[in-house]
Structure 1
Amino acid sequence: MKYIIYSILFLTLINCNTKTKQAVDKVITNDKIIIKGNVKNVTKNKLYLVGNNFSQFIDIEKDGSFVDTLTTSSGYFYVRDLKNYIELYLSQGNSLELFYDADNFEKSIRFKGKESVINEYLQKKSELKNTITGGEAQFSLLNEIDYKKKNLTLKKRSLDLVTPYDGLPESFIIKEKKNITYQYYLRFFKYIYLHAYYIKDRNFKPSKTFYNELEEVDITNEQDFLELSSYNKLIRDYYNRLIHNCSTSKEVSQLYNGINSNIIQKEILDMTLRSMGKKDYAIDTLYSGLRSLNLDRQTLADLEKKYRSIKKLDIGTPSPSFKYYNIDGSNTTLEDLRGNYVLIDVWATSCGPCKIEVPHLERLEKKYHNQQIKFVSISVDKKKHFERWKKYVHKKKLKGIQLFADESFDSDFIKYFQVTSLPSFILLDPEGNIVLSKAPYPSTPEMEKLLDDLLSKKK
């Protein structure tokens, strides 16, 4: 399973409606939300706001001030800079002012506006979480049993905090109790990839009983699906897991037909179509199962288009070529590597998980030295970071063939292989045909076994 802990920072923008300070409505209408304030020592000149099916960048002026009008429904949001992560509650027809110093966050954060008490409470809840868990890394490193115990403690203490909190509207308390419970269940899914990340073992799988408590979840609550981002995310993760476990097209069709809510079924179907090719689904099984559903014409067309784009990456199909700048000053094409298996590492200097794989990649290069395989690293750093890439490669003395993609993620070769997360590994055969468009990570036993089997057949 591929994952990048910071991938949320790069979600596709939805309903983007950024305005300058001068363009913000002077009068708040009932369908609008205004967020404004002042922040100090923020690394970038933007804040990133995420809600339920909503995301938006907010520009920060040179003096630290910001203001923006949002066209979205009331609910829970998260705002991020590169250092801090804040849970907010915003409602239509109201404005919220946010102030903090990114270098002294917990002591400096404050709010103004009708929802200031609610947001002060949410900050207290966040501080309680940090106190109980000790932070994300420490929490995620726990074994299953201890993690579940601490997760339950966090849920109970959070519920104890919200009920008597002075000044909270009763309507919010009812909604927040649900939110706390959904966040509790969501952490079961988070544990899987975060634990694997921190123990540096991507093959980690929880026990068969790990998910048992999720059987308690009501998976048909349309109102909460539309209003609570925690429930929305929980249901998406829940069905994503079930879809991955389907072994026949009949199971796929039964799963989707078994979703009693039309709203939830449509959202899960849309999620699946967006994820096809990005996740390790059994594509033919999934496609056949979805094809048997009673889909509208547009959804069916989207499914056919997505399926065709994935099938062109099937084993044995020819790979497109590339011509990229080589760290040695020349240009390298795929044709230059013919006669060898080619293991391609798509990476960037800003990608932490990419750097974790480097020692494992170098170990493979050493093991298969002088054998019929070339190791190629293609950087998708932006053009403005070209010199940074060169310095990094020289400083770290990176081995193999080091190339720089001409247009980052928009390079034809990178787009053809539908690379959306880093690192990504592609394996081609000596004739330039695809062996795997999503090859295992070098740190996994599967990669070494795969290369052993391929090279032994060539001897």
Structure 2
Amino acid sequence: MKKIIYILSIALAFVSCKKEVTKDYVTLSGTIINQNSDSLVVAQRGIIKTLKVNADGTFLDTLKVEAGSYILFDGVEQAKLYLKNGYDLKVSIDTKAFDETLKFTGNGSEANNYLAKKGLLSEKIVDYAGILKMDKLSFNKRIESNKEEFLTLLKTTKNLDSTFIKEEEKQVEIITKQLGMMYSEKEAILALKGKASPKFVDYENHAGGLTSLDDLKEKYVYIDLWATWCGPCKAEIPFLKKVEKEYHGKNIEFVSISIDRENAYETWRKMVTDKELTGIQLYAKGDKTFTEAYKVTGIPRFILIDPQGNIVSADAPRPSDSELIDLFKELSI
């Protein structure tokens, strides 16, 4: 009898050992060729975890997550990930061709290889600047074509989680809707051309006193809407200085309007001084009437007004864009 019980105990133990235990964490490992740094960052709304990368480019770590989208950042490049506890993902990347060589194997690889392919497809077919310049019919056709390509990629990828599929379908719809809204905004902005410009009144001038748009009549006015916290705005500063210098003394005024909040007033004054910003430097002091009239939803935004106070372009080329000088030449400024 004891022998039978002993044998049954061994059998039960064997069955218990064979039972698969679901991990409550993600395992991330892999190899990076031509690594950009000695670490990788997994982030969502903030940094979730920093993974150490060895000198030979290998890495291995674990982390607990809520199922969803994350970013893998190597200090220079980044990739979108879909992580779920229980995944055991192996990553391989050559940073010389980051997007093209990004590959995943192991549990969870299907969704992440799909995301890598989606990224490449997006680079290939999505040209936001070009799409927004199309006529309405061409725009609609292009949007539908892009939507179909993304959904085809999703449908032909096997072994995807149903929740993941629903979220991706939702994202395609959101992007399609956002592009439609962007196109409508662009049409509204283009419709402003030739109309009398909305006015700003009594904005604080860094050089002293108050300045209004009416004070600048009889010259072209090139307006830069910016803020001290805006990286792309600050990236335009060297280009704007160069253009201002080239057109100094000509029939044009260069006006930079800070739309910083009032608690950043001193930051604005200091930055104008420290960076030796040229042109007319104004502070809106929380006033939104001018930006709202120009339908501003993002900065930097550049506006060109003619000597009669009419709008030449409500969304003029940036100083870093060679089209700006072409426009100035066309207007004989």
Using the size of structure 2 for normalisation, the TM-score is 0.62
User: Relative to structure 1, is the Cα distance of residues 391 and 243 closer, same or farther in structure 2, using a 3 angstrom cutoff?
Assistant: closer
Deviations 1:106-149 (A, max 9, x none): 47x9755xx67x79xx98x93xx63xxx6329xxxxxxxx9794
Pairs within 5 Å for 1:230-379: 237=126, 243-244=131-132, 246-247=134-135, 249=137, 251-252=138-139, 254=141, 267=174, 270-276=177-183, 283=187, 309-310=188-189, 312-313=191-192, 315-323=193-201, 324-379=203-258
CA distance in 2, matches of 1:353, 1:264: 26
User: Relative to structure 1, is the Cα distance of residues 448 and 310 closer, same or farther in structure 2, using a 3 angstrom cutoff?
Assistant: closer
AA aligned opposite 2:99: N
AA aligned opposite 1:151: D
Deviations 1:304-355 (A, max 9, x none): xxxxx44552x21111110211112311100000000000011111122222
CA distance in 1, matches of 2:130, 2:311: 29
Matched with 1:185 is 118
AA aligned opposite 2:262: K
Greater helix content:
1
SS of structure 2 residue aligned to 1:439:
coil
Matched with 1:405 is 284
1:439 aligns with 2:316: yes
Count of aligned residue pairs for this structure pair: 248
Greater strand content:
2
Deviations 1:199-256 (A, max 9, x none): xxxxxxxxxxxx3xx7xxxxxxxxxxxxxxxxxxxxxx58x6895475562x445556
Contact 2:190 2:314 in 1 (8 A): no
Deviations 1:248-295 (A, max 9, x none): 62x44555677779989965653234213555xxx4xxxxxxxxxxxx
| CA positional deviation for 1:453 | 2.2
AA aligned opposite 1:274: M
In structure 2, stretches of 5+ residues that fail to align are 1-41, 53-60, 79-93, 152-168
Contact 1:345 1:377 in 2 (8 A): yes
In structure 1, stretches of 5+ residues that fail to align are 1-76, 87-99, 138-145, 164-172, 193-210, 215-236, 284-308
| CA positional deviation for 1:181 | 1.8
Contact 1:365 1:375 in 2 (8 A): yes
User: Relative to structure 1, is the Cα distance of residues 277 and 347 closer, same or farther in structure 2, using a 3 angstrom cutoff?
Assistant: farther
AA aligned opposite 1:80: R
CA distance in 1, matches of 2:119, 2:173: 21
| CA positional deviation for 1:179 | 3.5
Contact 1:343 1:373 in 2 (8 A): yes
User: Relative to structure 1, is the Cα distance of residues 245 and 383 closer, same or farther in structure 2, using a 3 angstrom cutoff?
Assistant: closer
Matched with 1:422 is 299
User: Relative to structure 1, is the Cα distance of residues 452 and 321 closer, same or farther in structure 2, using a 3 angstrom cutoff?
Assistant: same
Matched with 1:219 is none
**Partner residue of 2:101 out of 134, 153, 158:** 153
**Partner residue of 1:451 out of 305, 323, 328:** 328
SS of structure 2 residue aligned to 1:276:
helix
User: Relative to structure 1, is the Cα distance of residues 311 and 422 closer, same or farther in structure 2, using a 3 angstrom cutoff?
Assistant: closer
User: Relative to structure 1, is the Cα distance of residues 252 and 360 closer, same or farther in structure 2, using a 3 angstrom cutoff?
Assistant: closer
User: Relative to structure 1, is the Cα distance of residues 183 and 241 closer, same or farther in structure 2, using a 3 angstrom cutoff?
Assistant: farther
CA distance in 1, matches of 2:110, 2:219: 59
Contact 1:440 1:446 in 2 (8 A): yes
Consecutive aligned runs of 4 or more in structure 1 exceeding 4 Å deviation: 109-112, 146-149, 240-248, 252-269
CA distance in 2, matches of 1:330, 1:150: 52
Matched with 1:143 is none
Contact 2:227 2:233 in 1 (8 A): yes
SS of structure 1 residue aligned to 2:44:
strand
Using the size of structure 1 for normalisation, the TM-score is 0.46
Name the structure, 1 or 2, with higher relative contact order (CA <8 Å, separation 6+).
Answer: 2
User: Relative to structure 1, is the Cα distance of residues 244 and 424 closer, same or farther in structure 2, using a 3 angstrom cutoff?
Assistant: closer
Contact 2:218 2:307 in 1 (8 A): yes
User: Relative to structure 1, is the Cα distance of residues 187 and 366 closer, same or farther in structure 2, using a 3 angstrom cutoff?
Assistant: same
Contact 1:277 1:418 in 2 (8 A): no
CA distance in 2, matches of 1:246, 1:312: 15
Identity %: 35
The structure with the larger Rg is 2
Contact 1:378 1:405 in 2 (8 A): yes
User: Relative to structure 1, is the Cα distance of residues 242 and 317 closer, same or farther in structure 2, using a 3 angstrom cutoff?
Assistant: closer
| CA positional deviation for 1:150 | 3.6
CA distance in 1, matches of 2:101, 2:172: 33
Contact 1:428 1:435 in 2 (8 A): yes
Matched with 1:79 is 44
AA aligned opposite 1:276: Y
CA distance in 1, matches of 2:135, 2:277: 41
